[in-house]
Structure 1
Amino acid sequence: MKILAFDTCFDGCSVCVAELRDNSVVALSSRMERFETGHAERLIPMIGETMEEARVAFGDLDRIAVTVGPGTFTGTRIGIAAARSLALATSAPTVGVSSLAVMAEVAGRTIDAEMLAVVTDARRGEVYAQLFSGRGGRNAYSEPLLLPIDDAARLGGRGAIVFVGSGAAAVAEAAVRHGRAARAALPDLLPDAVALASIAAGLEASDAPLAPFYLRPPDAKPQDKAIARV
């Protein structure tokens, strides 16, 4: 099985071409770049470069995997639109995965913890949060949530916990104030397409259209009144 996986949910872009061999996912080529804007301009060239380096043709793909959120509205839409287009062009089925699960998969490979929570800054004193076992993103204890920092600090009860992601420092500080054994790690953590491919290989693919997973309505709203023409 050959998999094309990519993420554009947060402040970066990650692409991987991987192959399932004897129940192990092997990355044939991968790239990750960090930036706050420019996902639309960079994603397709990165996919082309990664496919070329992996020496895999688009017609050989068996699966396309993408993160479906939570994340920025623009970034999430860009990734899903690209996955839909490529699926239409190649007839490869798609798999959508939580961006937080992918981040937990990355963190679980480097952090020794019984309980792990991915918490990314959603601004307005809130974080996108999801609770996992320390083994990674395939062992979720909660759904992805949008929570105030104090509520995120209470995820999983009062047991020891490690918070990872851009909101980790603030949430861990709040947890310690509540008397909890907590620490922050990996503040620069982003979804990695290599981890995404690893998760996607074990999921059922679907021909159904991918849909973005948003935890907050968009800031931009349609106007209530029509603007009069001059």
Structure 2
Amino acid sequence: MLLAIDTSGPYCSAALWSLKQDICLVQQSENLGRGHAERLMPMLEELLAKQNAKWTDIKKLAVVIGPGSFTGLRVGIATARGLALALGVPCAGVTVFEAFAHFHYTSEINNEPLLVAMDAKRNQIWLQAFDAKCQPQTEPVGVEVESLAEHIEGSVTCTIGSAAKQIAHASGRDIIIINDSPSPPVTAVAAIGAAAGPDNISPSPLYLRAPDAKPQKIQNQRHSNVSQKTR
């Protein structure tokens, strides 16, 4: 059995996936905004209870590694790493882009080039393009809203993610909006993790910009300098 975790966005999500049947056994997703750290472990316990399963029944993990909320990513990745280490099982890292692309290519509209677009706030959009076979065509990138049109390739006919409407508007073309959800289905994360090799142990976060928070040491130094000037 595989355990999938996603705390990259406003939703705290998890799923149990059968590695033998290759299907989702149970899933849960809650729009928390904040508080992932307090809710995640109780949610995992609830999922196990619904399946009458134990922690030792988990043979593999998958976790979303970003991009997304810095705090949320740290919660999910640290939890997955800790569980993988304690259980002695592999842990696969899955990007938000990969999860959205997998969801698209396993749905009805599954043979069109796709642009995954996430609203990163602060006038920035995170993008990655995929071809008709779900293979990435570009590296994940963060672009300014003003230059968005320059990054929409002519072959793209579909878009998905929280910035999908912005993509459709900026393109000036009839691009199909699959959905504009802020988080991919956790079942897509589980499916990708189930197909991943067994050599992934410690996934690393995918950050497309520096954190908002400044290191405490630098902040303290600034306060010290201000105090000295006012003496």
The TM-score with structure 2 as length reference comes to 0.86
Residue 123 of structure 1 deviates from its aligned partner by: 1.3
Q: How does 1:151-162 map to 2 (within 5 A)?
A: 151-155=147-151, 157-162=153-158
Q: 5+ unaligned residues in a row in structure 2: which ranges?
A: none
Contact 2:89–2:201, Cα closer than 8 Å, also in 1: no
Partner Cα separation in structure 2 for residue 111 and residue 26 of structure 1: 18
2:130 match? 132
Amino acid at match of 1:52: A
Partner Cα separation in structure 1 for residue 133 and residue 17 of structure 2: 21
Q: Is 2:1 the partner of 1:8?
A: no
Deviations 1:182-205 (A, max 9, x none): 233311251222111111111113
Q: How does 1:54-73 map to 2 (within 5 A)?
A: 54-73=51-70
Query: What's the % identity of the aligned pairs?
Result: 33
2:105 match? 108
Partner Cα separation in structure 2 for residue 131 and residue 159 of structure 1: 10
Residue 151 of structure 1 deviates from its aligned partner by: 4.4
Q: How does 1:36-75 map to 2 (within 5 A)?
A: 36-75=33-72
Q: 5+ unaligned residues in a row in structure 1: which ranges?
A: none
72-81 or 112-121: bigger deviation:
112-121
> How many aligned positions are there?
222
1:202 match? 195
Deviations 1:97-137 (A, max 9, x none): 1112112222333452511111110112211111123555x
1:188 match? 181
207-216 or 72-81: bigger deviation:
207-216
Q: Aligned in 2, Cα 1:32/1:98: closer, same or farther, shift over 3 Å?
A: same
1:117 match? 115
27-36 or 51-60: bigger deviation:
51-60
Q: Is 2:174 the partner of 1:173?
A: no
Residue 152 of structure 1 deviates from its aligned partner by: 4.2
Q: State the structure with more CA Rg.
A: 2
State the superposition RMSD in angstroms: 2.3
Partner Cα separation in structure 2 for residue 56 and residue 164 of structure 1: 34
Q: Aligned in 2, Cα 1:43/1:201: closer, same or farther, shift over 3 Å?
A: same
The TM-score with structure 1 as length reference comes to 0.87
